[in-house]
Amino acid sequence: MMKKVTIRLDDQTAKQVLAQAVKHKTSLSRYIRGVLRYEAAYRAWREDRKPWPLKGPPEPYPKRDEIYDRPLFRRR
């Protein structure tokens, strides 16, 4: 079941949202619903992600010459 909701937007925001809805070939309400669902899914995904622990002491990045000093990258 769908609920009716009234929102207030300033003129510029309303024009931008309507333009995006037209660009996506959908109604304004369907576009806003999609944006809100996407935002909720993104927030849920971010909450589930935990930073992984780094192992060992920090090390400096390798030098460019060290990275490309391999037979595969040498000119023949």
Amino acid at 37: R
Model pTM? 0.61
For 35, the token pair is 């944006």
Which is higher by pLDDT, 13 or 67?
Answer: 13
pLDDT of the residue at 49: 83
CB 60 within 8 A of CB 50: no
Rounded Cα–Cα distance for residues 23 and 16 (Å): 10
